[in-house]
Structure 1
Amino acid sequence: MNTKFVMRGLLLALPVAVIASVVLTLVMNPTRIGRPLDPTPPPPTILAPRGELPTGPVGLQGWARYRGKADRQVVHGFLIRLSDGEIVGVTPAHGFSFSDPDHPLQQIALAAPGQTDFVVEFDRLRGQLGQPRTGGDMTVDYVLLRADQPIDSSFVLTPDSRGAPQPGERVSLFSCSGDGRGSQRILEGTVQSVSDTAVWVLMDELFNPDGMSGSPFVSQYTGQVVGMAIAVNPRGGRLLLGVHPIGSIVQLAESATEFPKIREYRR
């Protein structure tokens, strides 16, 4: 046996095997390599009044109607009641196109999970459009909708007057994706960090987050909505969800002075 030949072959094969092992590790578990999670904050002292979680289907499916095309389900959304009693539809900007001249957007609707009829159909915006998020600022990503028809109050959420949850607070994500049946699914998490432009929530369990953008996060303490899910960041084998704080959404809705028709709006 040519011992030198065998040893040279082993030396050449070893780096290839190591590289293949690393690639396989990344493919099978892409979150193992990367920045670890920061420590989860302890439970906070919350001075706001305690309330109950919603019992109705408050996480709604968002539907888009483009001219010449069939209605299709896109992202998600929810409804809030402002202090003056007006109801506003809330959904993310990255779920819709306002720039296709051949198939312009005509209408946005919200539907309860598992139901065929729409809860509400919108043909007007409330204020100007946001834009799809590309960085860490979640507050740029929104579409606010003006409601011109009566809406069942069981679908409507109350904004948390604090404007955002507190670090360490427990929250629930009301979604209608991920269970394979289109029914409501409630997922729990803990607030990891809070700023004026983003809230980050560490979810308790791993799940497929596809299509959950626009779902509302509700405080388990106050029972009120604290933000809208916008982005997902896998980290250390867990899921971090980026959230548009509800205080920003309310401010945008209350300051709106224009209510353009959706079918006439172009970027």
Structure 2
Amino acid sequence: MKRYDQLFSQLKTNKRGAFFPFMILGDPTPAISLKIIDTLISGGADGLELGIPFSDPLADGPVIQNSNLRAFNSGITVSQCFEMISSIRYKYSQLPIGLLIYANLVFSQGIKNFYSICAKLDIDSVLIADLPLEESKPFVQTASYYNINPIFICPPNPNDNLLRKISIYSRGYIYLLSRTGVTGIEKPANITSEEIINNLHKYTSTPLIQGFGISNVTQAKQIIKTGVDGIIVGSAIIKIIEDYYDQIDSMLKKIEIMSIKFKSVLLK
């Protein structure tokens, strides 16, 4: 749990926001996926949000759906994903690493076994995209037992009761949705309302990270000025993989440039 604390403390001192890229492990192949992660980190990523390929990603739009399909086509398995995370952790011992996944991936491993594996891999957090707060108790308890941060999503239209519950259960950070619907860059991100941010700050000191639809540095700059602590960028990066999956050098260069640009504008 300490990696998030250390990161956000350092960023607060430097008056910067966090840049967390998201990608699906194994897209377009396991080996290239690891090269992309190296590129994102060299470009300034403060932490990683990683997805394990899933056949029915309900919260994701076409870009990330296609990413899952490319990963499956590469022959990736869940056990290979865990092996990849192990090698990433070995190489980047101080980097926060979170999983952003679906509940069936946890159930298929068994809740206790899944979080035990995460603990052995030294994963910092797990966000289960389709897990309602009302059904989260066994997941939260098991995550806490294994010293893993449970992350919850705050929708763009929460009531006060939901804000309080999210503040109680989330550790590491709270994921602010930029808008309703699925992931993707087709619809731009919205600015989270000042009221939501202020109410969350009233209930918790847990950092606030915004995601969904952040496709350019202008949006990122506007979002970070609202008082959130960072951004998650997924589809914009994965679209580069889609467009250049057969031109690896160009793909890596464009991803590096995008990472540097996002990182450079996150000044508070």
Structure that is richer in helix per residue: 2
Per residue, is there more strand in 1 or in 2?
1
TM over 0.5, shorter chain: no
Q: What TM-score do you get using the length of structure 1 for normalisation?
A: 0.27
Select the structure of larger CA radius of gyration: 1
